[in-house]
Chains A and B, each alone.
Chain A
Amino acid sequence: MTQTCDPNRGDKIIVHVDPDLKDLVPGFLKNRRKDVKSLVAAVERSDYETIEALGHTMKGDGGGYGFHAITDIGGSLEKAASNKNLQEIRKWVKQLSVYLESVEIVYK
């Protein structure tokens, strides 16, 4: 996997993904966009359990698909939820949202 550019500047993030996973990646990213909505709702409810579970799953699954940034964000969300740190959680949800908007896949 290769990432370039700064998503905060509106640049695209190029991620190189195994062509064997071509059929699975669109569904994976679609589900992460759903996760963003679920996370925002969970933040509103201060539902740390849901946030921790979603973070844990992202941490486990992201890198396997080639999205190591999702693994890192998931791990940070899991940790922030475990510490009940809403400020940190909001920061990482925002990061995830920006990442998903900026990511561009190259199957290689």
Chain B
Amino acid sequence: MSILLVDDSAENLLLLQSILQTGGYKDLLTAESAEQAFKHLGMDSSGGDGMSVDLILMDIQMPDINGIETCRRIKEVERYRDIPIIMVTAMAQREKLQLAFAAGAMDYINKPVNKVELRTRVGSALKLKQEMDSRKAREQELKKRTQELEQALREVKVLRGFIPICASCKKIRNDRGYWQLVEAYIREHSEAEFSHGICPDCIKKFFPGVEPG
């Protein structure tokens, strides 16, 4: 899974990379500013698709666009709405955490970073992302199945409602206003097929000399 690290301190980026790489997280992207992060995510003016990212670690205090604003802008983009963002903050910036959570951050890590804390939080966030991804995949599958079922139901031929039938010859008036033989009408409006025979009453009526079998 891929992690984007955003921090204006190149040395903190190196530190985060080192701790995460030795912890087994190999797919890491780095950005030294909000603009670079937007570029990675395809949110800049180049209009690129952006890279696939599963987690973002974001420094709060950065020049130009700070971490809170960067987080808010990323969360505005539909395809990044479910990506967890962990804020990396110095103790004195804790008052800013409320703003960060309001902007869409899911967790925070204190600076200076502790390697056990960092790896644990990153592991939890990635597990959560994985579960969200599989839940979304299941929802998609369910939606697809429902659509298929709805389509199948639309295609099933059913007979219902009032059917105008001749009281004498038993022909049925179809939707186009023509009188049809009852078996032709039923065949057209259902999956039923007919096998023809003669009932005992008709044998008596039309073949009086023949004994019904």
**CB-CB < 8 A to A63: which residues of B?**
111-113
Name the residue on A nearest B23 (C-beta).
A20
CB-based contact B14/A71 at 8 Å: no
**What 0/1 readout, one digit per residue, does chain A (70-82) give for beta carbons within 8 Å of chain B?**
0100010000000
CB distance from A28 to the nearest CB of B (A): 6
**CB-CB < 8 A to A59: which residues of B?**
90, 111
Known: A56-B61, A56-B90. A61 touches B12 (CB 8 A): yes
CB-based contact A64/B90 at 8 Å: no
Known: A31-B11, A60-B9. A20 touches B22 (CB 8 A): yes
Which of B14, B90, B92 touches A24 (beta carbons < 8 Å)? B14
| Distance in angstroms between the alpha carbons of A20 and B21 in the assembled complex | 10
CB distance from A80 to the nearest CB of B (A): 14
- B18 contacts the other chain (CB 8 A): yes
CB-based contact A71/B112 at 8 Å: yes
- A95 contacts the other chain (CB 8 A): no
**CB-CB < 8 A to A65: which residues of B?**
11, 15, 112
Known: A28-B11, A56-B61, A56-B90. A61 touches B19 (CB 8 A): no
Which of B22, B92, B113 touches A64 (beta carbons < 8 Å)? B113
| Distance in angstroms between the alpha carbons of A30 and B11 in the assembled complex | 12
**What 0/1 readout, one digit per residue, does chain B (55-66) give for beta carbons within 8 Å of chain A?**
000010100000
CB distance from A21 to the nearest CB of B (A): 6
CB distance from B189 to the nearest CB of A (A): 76
Known: A28-B11, A60-B12. A68 touches B18 (CB 8 A): no
CB-based contact B115/A61 at 8 Å: no
CB distance from B33 to the nearest CB of A (A): 14
**CB-CB < 8 A to B9: which residues of A?**
57, 60-61
**CB-CB < 8 A to B59: which residues of A?**
60
CB-based contact B90/A21 at 8 Å: no
**CB-CB < 8 A to B113: which residues of A?**
63-64
**CB-CB < 8 A to A68: which residues of B?**
112
**CB-CB < 8 A to A88: which residues of B?**
none
| Distance in angstroms between the alpha carbons of A94 and B2 in the assembled complex | 42
Since A21-B15, A60-B111, A64-B113 are in contact, a sample of 8 more A-B pairs with Cβ atoms closer than 8 Å, ordered by chain A residue number, is A18-B115, A59-B90, A60-B59, A60-B90, A61-B111, A62-B112, A64-B112, A68-B112
